Structure 1
Amino acid sequence: MSTSEYTKVYYGNFILVTRVKDELERFGIIPIIKDEGESQRLAGYASMNQGYQEVFVHNDELDKATAIIEQVKSEMEATE
């Protein structure tokens, strides 16, 4: 069984992921962005997830990142 030092904390389209990423970086957290759709496209495969990305953070920063993401999500919902 493999264990990862990173946990997925968010999944969304490019615009929303960029907003989350920018806010995490503002607080000193450097996330990893995974774009399966782009990887598949570059490999020559069709993708159902085009435009959607996943945000991962290091487990040591998970609690802080989760709080930041919840704040960003509530701000985005308030502007809808």
Structure 2
Amino acid sequence: MNSNYTRIFSSSFILAQTIVNQLKEIGIVPVIKDESESGRLAGFGSAIQGNQEIYVHADEVAKAQSIVQKIIGA
């Protein structure tokens, strides 16, 4: 992953999509990494199904983390 991007969240598909939608509403376009889906498309299985990682540009980390905190309630 490009060093200009920082992982801000990793969890289930449903929770990750909620965060992605909220980020897009405030103008942040995240990068979603889904190893299990990539493996499935390549013909391999994965023990962890549906786990996604969300990355944002380094300039947007603070704004993005506030959205994550609001959604997960931490």
TM-score (norm 2): 0.91
- 2:13 corresponds to which residue? 14
Which letter does structure 1 place at the counterpart of 2:32? I
Q: Larger C-alpha radius of gyration, 1 or 2?
A: 1
- 1:58-78, Cα deviation, whole Å (9 max, x unpaired): 00000111111101111xx8x
Unpaired runs of 5+ residues, structure 1, are none
Change (3 A) 1:60 1:16: same
Unpaired runs of 5+ residues, structure 2, are none
Identity of aligned residues (%): 43
4+ residue runs over 3 A deviation: none
Kindly tell me the number of residue pairs found equivalent between the two proteins: 74
1:71 is aligned to 2:62: no
TM-score (norm 1): 0.84
Determine the C-alpha separation between the residues in 1 that align with 2:7 and 2:58.
10
